[in-house]
Chains A and B, each alone.
Chain A
């Protein structure tokens, strides 16, 4: 089935040690997003790629970076994770112009723990 796949489901990293989360999609959607969701809070958009164009949210810390080497893959790099970066990271995709629903599809998320 076409879907959005996030790896790994659970990631434990050490304080200050760089970590990369990955997302892949088989939907051929041209927009990919990374959201951060902390406990009991709303998902918060970090950035998104519209095709190859990177769009950073104004309040996303510099510690968070992203790469999209091709249509199917998108990576979230956290350069120096702090304890406050522990959260669920959600990847989502959509297709520009696909009606009013845009076909938003979420991956299952990666739960990051920082020790």
Chain B
């Protein structure tokens, strides 16, 4: 079983739609959780951290369910510029980032 699992997609949604991604992780000792965004042939960039209480940053909302070992990302009012691969990331052990495979999102005009 992969340490971090995501649906690879691709997700194709119209501009303005709401889209949600899910992620599960296998190690219950995982400490911190993030969503990263990666554009084609570029490095991953931090989108937001994920907290147990849930957190929101503009159109983006992240949720963590430790009991189910489940992380989600919701994007509202999607823009063309949101097209990218979204990587679920978990910190394990001594600050090791463990990445999910990523979910590819394409926003269509």
Contact = CB atoms under 8 A, between A and B. Distances in A.
Contacts of B31: 100
Contacts of B97: 33, 43, 45, 92, 104
A68 interface: no
Given A42-B87, A45-B96, A92-B97, A100 B49 contact: yes
Given A45-B97, A101-B49, A90 B43 contact: yes
Interface in A69-115: 88, 90, 92, 94, 96, 100-102, 104, 106-109, 111
Contacts of A92: 97
Contacts of B44: 43, 90, 106
Interface residues of A, number: 25
Interface stretch (B11-19, B66-74, B75-83, B98-106): B98-106
A50 B100 contact: no
Interface residues of B, number: 23
Contact of B43 (A101, A102, A107): A107
Given A90-B43, A106-B44, A111-B41, A42 B100 contact: yes
B61 interface: no
Given A108-B42, A108-B43, A111-B41, A102 B91 contact: yes
B59 interface: no
Most buried by B among A31, A33, A90, A100: A100
Contact of A109 (B34, B43, B91, B101): B43
Interface of A: 31, 33, 40-45, 48, 50, 55, 88, 90, 92, 94, 96, 100-102, 104, 106-109, 111
Interface of B: 4, 8, 31-32, 34, 41-46, 49, 87, 91, 94-102
